[in-house]
Structure formats: C-alpha cells, structure tokens
Amino acid sequence: MLENPFTYGNPISDPQRFIGRRRELDQVYSRLLNAEAESSSIVGERRIGKTSLLHHLMHPDVQSKYGIQSGRYIFIYIDLQMIDPKTTPSRLAQRLLGQLAKQCPDPDIQHMIDDIRQSDEIDNFMLSDLFDAIDSKSFHVVFLLDEFDNITGNPNFGADFFYGLRSLAIQHNLTLVTSSRSELIELTHSEEIRSSPFFNIFANINVRLFTPAEAQELLDRSLAGSGVAFTPAEHDLVFSLAGTHPFFLQAACYFLYSSYQQGMQPADRRSYTRKMYMAESASHLANYWRDSSDSQKIVLTTLAFLERKDQARQHNFGLQDLRQLYDRSEQTLTHLEKRGLLVQSANGYRLFGTALSDWIISEITDTMSDDLSYDDWLKSNQGTMERLSREARTQITDILPKISAKYRDLLIEWVSDPKNLISVAALIKTTLFAAA
C-alpha cells in the first residue's frame, strides 16, 4: 500500500494534484493579460484553498497554458502572515524587492534594486523610478500577496501606502493578486483607507466549496493506483462529515486511508475516521464560529437544529423555512454561502458538513464549562430577561438552562422577535429534549 495520498496541512504545490478552480484561474489570468493588466482580489475563508490557488497561478506549466511569456512575467509570492504590528511599509518593500532581485534576470534592474535596498526608508519615488526601468525592459511584475488582510488591518500602513501601491499598479507593469478572508475594503483599519481609490483596481474573486464533481475527482485521482477503494458506506461517511470543502474532505479521507494502512476492519475504520476527524476539525470550526457575526451564528444554529431534527440528514431547508425561524435569514445566507459554511441548491440550504452542525450544537449546549450555576446566572441577568415578553420568558424557561451561559444572550436576542418566538422554541425543545 502506498503512502497516504491525502494531505490537509500544507497548500497544494504540485499542479498534478490541483483540483478545479478553473473559473477563478480564468478570471485572474484574463485580467492579468488584458490591455490594462488588471489586479484581482481572491476572497475566501480560512482553509478554502486560497494559498494553493496562488501557488498554482505561479507554476510555469500553468502559466504556459494561459500564454504567459516565459522570461517576461516575473511572479513574486509573499506570505504576509509574517507581518506583525511592528512591520512598516519600508520593511515590506525591502522584502518584496529582495525577492524581485532574485528572480529578475536583468543585471541592471538587480543593481538598481540593490541600491534602493541600501536606503533606510524606501519611498514611492524610488519605487516609481524602479518600475520605470522595469517598464523600459518590457518586464511585467506580478505580486501574489497572500493574507493581505494583515496589511489592511495594520495601522502602520496608512493611506499614503495604498495610494502609492495603486499608482504603481495603474502606471506601470505591475499587477497585484491578493488573498484575504473577506473583501479588502471590509478589513481596513480606518475610514480614510476605506474611502481610498486603491480598492477600485481589484475585481473580487470568491473561492468557495468544490462542486460535487470536483470533490469526487479529488477522491478518484488520489486513490488511483493506491490499491485502496473506499466502500460505498465510507464514501458516504466522508462526504457527510466534510461535504465538498477541500480541506475538510482531504482530512476525512486522510484518516480513512490511515485506517486502511493500520489494517482495521470496516466498522472500526468508520469509527476511527469519525473520531479523528472530529478532533482535527474542532479548532477550525471554532475559528469559523468565532469569526461569525451574531446574525450568522443564529442562522448557523438554526440550520444545525433543523439538521439534527432531520435524523436522516437528507433534506435542505428553504428560505421560507428559515424565515419562520429567523426573520433576517435571507441577507445572512449570502454571506455564509460565500464563506463556504453552507451549501445552496435548488431545494434550499444546509451546512457544508454534518460535523459543523454537531459541533455547533455541542458548543452552545456546553453548560459544563459555565462558571455560574443557572440560578446564579439568572440573578445576575434580570435586566436581560426583562427585555423579553411574558410569553417569551414562558417559552424559553425550559430551554435556557440547557444553553451555555455565553450563548444565552444570543438566544434571547433570537427569540425577542415575536414572529420567530414560537417556531424557534418548538424547534429547540424538540431537538434538545429528544436528545435527552
């Protein structure tokens, strides 16, 4: 049996293992190769595959397929996770220029970069002069700036930095391809930067879940020649747990393949896969939850309870179903779908995998970690309870003790709308008391 063909820790670097993303690739290269050599902003949640996409963009074999002229285009990848609160624009420029000098084949440009890097401060005039020289040599620089939200959120990078970078991109042979968890303008640290024309040069390209066909291709291509074939029950298990999310699907398949390597029997393989996958995915699911707004948490919780109630877990839930439980669902669903946390189909919505719904319910019902008893919490939160109508207090009296203290305010906000009260209380009671 071969070594495990599934990986989920590092980005995909081998183009032979890269799956899908044709639409995103076409968009980036189309903008890069048009008359204005336009910039792109790749947007997607953690672990959705943004870094793998950037690595794929810069691979020579991929560039050749899109007609990139070898030797003319210089792709520079920088992981901006290394940016810390002390990093300055000049320090970032030092790093970018250092990488550019290594990859540019022209000695005159290399010497010019070396001279600039001797300066204590690198200003926009120096960079403009450098790119004048790059233009004159008919080179085109593409900066692939991964985790760009570490720049937009850093107060050391003021409006002058973004104006200067925009000027370089529109006046010279420079294209920017950034990646971030949200649209760049949503991540800025000041209103002055938010109103900057810098953001107008980008087209937002959302990276979402795999299609079912792409997810199946991941399994088929990875298992080809391995001597292992997942059974139908195992196939259903990994897709149930992880859906078509590329990271989580790789993780689920990794553990399942590992169970084969250990010689486990079918029932033990499924049990092992579920246990290991849930342990591995928990911290990542917690990050998604922590980054969600209250309205997003309510919609996620609504779907989690609906899916728990649907024991067969075979149904999607329509907009009308969700509106009855949370009146503001519609405006939130779009954001969650872009983040890859739920799947939309003609039949409605559901969370991307059962592991997410299980994790959410476990999280909000974890009363064992509460510092106060329910009675003590109630005494300390009389004002919160008084926000509710008498009917609302009656409806949730049995529910609140089963909800973790840190989410009781969220539940109270949820049921404070009388249009949702009865249906929400009924759903939660049916689910929690049935489980008990």
Q: 89-114 pLDDT, tens per residue?
A: 999 999 999 999 999 999 999 999 99
Element at 145 (helix H, strand E): strand 140-146
Sign of the C-alpha dihedral computed for residues 19, 22, 23 and 27 taken in this order: positive
- The DSSP secondary-structure symbol of 209 reads P
What is the pLDDT, as a whole number, of residue 223?
A: 96
User: Residue 133: pLDDT above 80?
Assistant: yes
pLDDT band at residue 64 under the 50/70/90 scheme:
very high
- The DSSP secondary-structure symbol of 120 reads S
Q: Which of 184, 187, 139 is nearest to 166 (CA)?
A: 184
What is the pLDDT, as a whole number, of residue 289?
A: 97
> H-type helices in 229-368, by residue range?
232-242, 246-261, 266-290, 294-309, 319-325, 329-339, 354-364
Q: What gap in Å lies between CA 373 and CA 398, rounded to an integer?
A: 15
Beta pairing, strands 342-345 & 73-79: unpaired
What is the pLDDT, as a whole number, of residue 191?
A: 80
CA of residue 398 relative to chain centroid, distance: 36
pLDDT band at residue 224 under the 50/70/90 scheme:
very high
What is the pLDDT, as a whole number, of residue 185?
A: 79
What is the pLDDT, as a whole number, of residue 70?
A: 80
State the average pLDDT over residues 176-194: 84
pLDDT > 90: percent of the chain: 81
pLDDT digits (tens, 9 = 90+) for 140-159: 999 999 999 999 889 999 98
State the average pLDDT over residues 13-29: 94
pLDDT > 70: percent of the chain: 98
Q: What gap in Å lies between CA 291 and CA 286, rounded to an integer?
A: 9
Phi and psi for 272 in degrees, rounded to 5? -60, -45
SS3 content of the chain, % helix, strand, coil (to 5): 60, 10, 30
Sign of the C-alpha dihedral computed for residues 341, 345, 350 and 353 taken in this order: negative
Q: Which of 370, 371, 397 is nearest to 385 (CA)?
A: 397
CB 300 within 8 A of CB 336: yes
Q: Which of 249, 344, 336 is nearest to 297 (CA)?
A: 336
CB 104 within 8 A of CB 74: yes
Q: Which of 362, 333, 360 is nearest to 349 (CA)?
A: 333
Phi and psi for 206 in degrees, rounded to 5? -80, 130
State the average pLDDT over residues 77-98: 94
Q: Which of 361, 428, 374, 435 is nearest to 405 (CA)?
A: 374
What is the pLDDT, as a whole number, of residue 436?
A: 52
Q: What gap in Å lies between CA 211 and CA 243, rounded to an integer?
A: 10
> Residue 34 corresponds to which amino acid?
N
Look over the chain and give the mean of its residue pLDDT values, rounded to a whole number.
93
pLDDT band at residue 383 under the 50/70/90 scheme:
confident
User: Residue 264: pLDDT above 90?
Assistant: yes
Q: For residue 277, count CB atoms less than 10 angstroms from its CB and return exposed for 0-12, middle for 13-18, buried for 19 or more.
A: buried
Q: What gap in Å lies between CA 189 and CA 149, rounded to an integer?
A: 10
CA of residue 120 relative to chain centroid, distance: 37
Q: What gap in Å lies between CA 434 and CA 436, rounded to an integer?
A: 5
State the average pLDDT over residues 126-150: 96
Q: What gap in Å lies between CA 71 and CA 187, rounded to an integer?
A: 35
CA of residue 10 relative to chain centroid, distance: 15
Q: What gap in Å lies between CA 12 and CA 19, rounded to an integer?
A: 9
Count CB neighbours of 349 within 10 A: 22
Q: Which residue's structure tokens are 């595959």?
A: 49
CB 221 within 8 A of CB 185: no
Using N-to-C axis directions, what is the helix angle for 418-435 and 294-309, rounded to 10°? 50
3-state SS assignment for residue 110: helix
Q: For residue 324, count CB atoms less than 10 angstroms from its CB and return exposed for 0-12, middle for 13-18, buried for 19 or more.
A: middle
Q: What gap in Å lies between CA 324 and CA 415, rounded to an integer?
A: 11
Q: What gap in Å lies between CA 173 and CA 169, rounded to an integer?
A: 7
